[in-house]
Amino acid sequence: MTLARKGHWTTLVGLVLLGGVYVRAVVFTPVERLQGPAQKIFYLHVPAAVWTELAMVLVGVASVVFLFLKDPRLDRFAEASAEVGTVFAAIVLTTGPIWGKTVWGTWWAWDARLTSTLFLFFLYIGYLLLRGAVVDAGARARYAAVLGICGMALVPFIHLSVYLFRTLHPQPIILKPSAPSLPQSMLVTWLLSFAVFTVLYVGFVMQRYALGRAREEGDRA
């Protein structure tokens, strides 16, 4: 089986599982007391947000190793991860306002965390634009790696500024020093959803990687 095909199947499995998670979220997970059914979007919004950031970190890690080994596979992976990260950032930026409208009463609040996802989105777009602007393949890979590493280094600063800036967002409820302050059933649903997003990430990256490789072969031929 080719990589592209494996990617197709992984993505398909991910999408089916996502349907399953939503059945569990809607039917078997309690409704949040204050936010009502609107909170259900949490199971889509937060895993996508976590993967938006993780994808950037993976772009950065692949870039660091690339500058040492100069292995084109790492560059191809970074490119794929950045593009999938862009899609996940778009999911966060679409689901965020929908949730915000019901809970905060406004589509867009210049809230720090929403804003920082927007900037992460622009960071991804910049990364992809840079790749498009450099003609020479060797230089493209090096420049992209430099930007990818800087992007990874920026993520903690974005996070830090979130804590310092006034925010409407709830403080983190899953990744925090003490135990998660989420009821067991919601936490399990969230973890399942996170696992599904991981499958989706892997599936998308596999397909994009295969596409990148095919394009390079096409260029060479």
Residues that bind another protein (CB under 8 A): 67, 119-120, 122-123, 125-126, 129-130, 133-135, 139, 142-143, 145-147, 149-150, 153-154, 157-158, 160-161, 163-165
Q: How far apart are CB 114 and another protein at their closest, in Å?
A: 13
Comparing CB distances to another protein, the nearer of 107 and 119 is: 119
Q: How far apart are CB 87 and another protein at their closest, in Å?
A: 18
Hey, what are 173's tokens?
A: 């409820």
Q: How far apart are CB 129 and another protein at their closest, in Å?
A: 6
CA-wise closest residue to 59 among 42, 39, 74: 74
Comparing CB distances to another protein, the nearer of 105 and 132 is: 132
Hey, what are 72's tokens?
A: 């084109």
Hey, what are 10's tokens?
A: 């992984």
Comparing CB distances to another protein, the nearer of 93 and 186 is: 93
Hey, what are 47's tokens?
A: 């895993």
Inter-CA distances, 39 with 47, 146, 181, 198, 215, Å: 14, 39, 15, 21, 42
Q: How far apart are CB 36 and another protein at their closest, in Å?
A: 33
Q: How far is CA 209 from the centre of its chain?
A: 16
Instruction: Give the span between the Cα atoms of 40 and 26, in whole angstroms.
Output: 7
Q: How far apart are CB 104 and another protein at their closest, in Å?
A: 21
Instruction: Give the span between the Cα atoms of 206 and 221, in whole angstroms.
Output: 23
Comparing CB distances to another protein, the nearer of 51 and 66 is: 66
Comparing CB distances to another protein, the nearer of 129 and 137 is: 129
